[in-house]
């Protein structure tokens, strides 16, 4: 079913379900498919051309030709006209017309996992990832307008939650 602004609009958008060509839509909990103004819906399918922008008012699908890359994430910005699409080691920023606005270099090696999130305000997003298996996790902030890297920080969990292991040496570990 397709819901728009809380209303079931499935009957009005019969062609919408043809986008997936029978293979179905992909859905991950971190996807943010609705644009800021709720006029566009970003859909990821299992097809050869996996990314589609569906314009609600026009009832029109615009396939985005980023193939054959695996799409990790599709997230609309909460405060501007930008869709962040992340692939295996990089991403792109796209506007509602489907035009690429920027290439985003994540700075990671093939095989590493990255997590992307938009900030609620400030027109920026961040990528949390390790560059390589033996490197520290980094937190990188990017401009949502042009994808420019703004800041990079090493992220050590010990800095976030200090842990004094010596306080817990005597704690029995075998009784759980």
What residues have CB less than 8 Å from 5, skipping those under 6 apart? 38
Q: What DSSP character marks residue 164?
A: -
Instruction: Indicate the SS3 state at residue 57.
Output: coil
Q: Which residues pair with 54 in a beta bridge?
A: 41, 61
Give the pLDDT confidence score for residue 67 in this predicted structure: 65
pLDDT in single tens digits along all 176 residues of the chain: 788 778 888 888 877 877 877 678 888 888 899 999 989 999 888 877 888 999 988 988 898 987 656 888 899 999 999 999 998 888 999 999 999 999 998 888 888 888 999 999 879 999 999 888 888 889 999 999 999 999 999 987 777 777 777 887 887 777 65
CA atoms within 13 A on the CB side of 70: 7
Q: How far is CA 84 from CA 1, 62, 95, 170, in A?
A: 24, 16, 9, 48
pTM above 0.85, yes or no: no
Give the pLDDT confidence score for residue 12 in this predicted structure: 86
Measured from the Cβ of residue 24, the count of other Cβ atoms closer than 10 Å reads: 11
Assign 3-state DSSP to the chain and report helix, strand, coil percentages, each to 5. 10, 40, 50
Q: Which residues pair with 2 in a beta bridge?
A: none
Give the pLDDT confidence score for residue 3 in this predicted structure: 80
Q: How far is CA 11 from CA 8, 26, 56, 59, 118, in A?
A: 8, 21, 13, 12, 32
């Amino acid at each position: 079913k397709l819901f728009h602004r809380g209303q079931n609009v499935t009957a009005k958008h019969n062609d919408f379900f043809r986008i997936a060509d029978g293979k179905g839509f992909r859905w991950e909990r971190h996807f943010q498919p609705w644009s800021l103004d709720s006029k566009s819906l970003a859909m990821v399918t299992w097809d050869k051309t996996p990314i589609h922008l569906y314009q609600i008012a026009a009832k029109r699908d615009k396939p985005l030709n980023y193939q054959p890359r695996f799409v990790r994430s599709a997230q609309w910005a909460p405060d501007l006209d930008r869709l962040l699409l992340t692939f295996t080691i990089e991403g792109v920023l796209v506007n509602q017309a489907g035009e690429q606005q920027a290439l985003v270099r994540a700075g990671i090696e093939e095989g590493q996992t990255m997590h992307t999130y938009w900030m609620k305000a400030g027109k920026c997003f961040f990528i949390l990832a390790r560059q390589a298996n033996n490197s520290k996790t980094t937190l990188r902030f990017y401009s949502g307008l042009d994808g420019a890297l703004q800041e990079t920080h090493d992220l050590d969990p010990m800095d976030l939650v200090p842990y004094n292991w010596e306080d817990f040496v005597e704690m029995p570990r075998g009784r759980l």
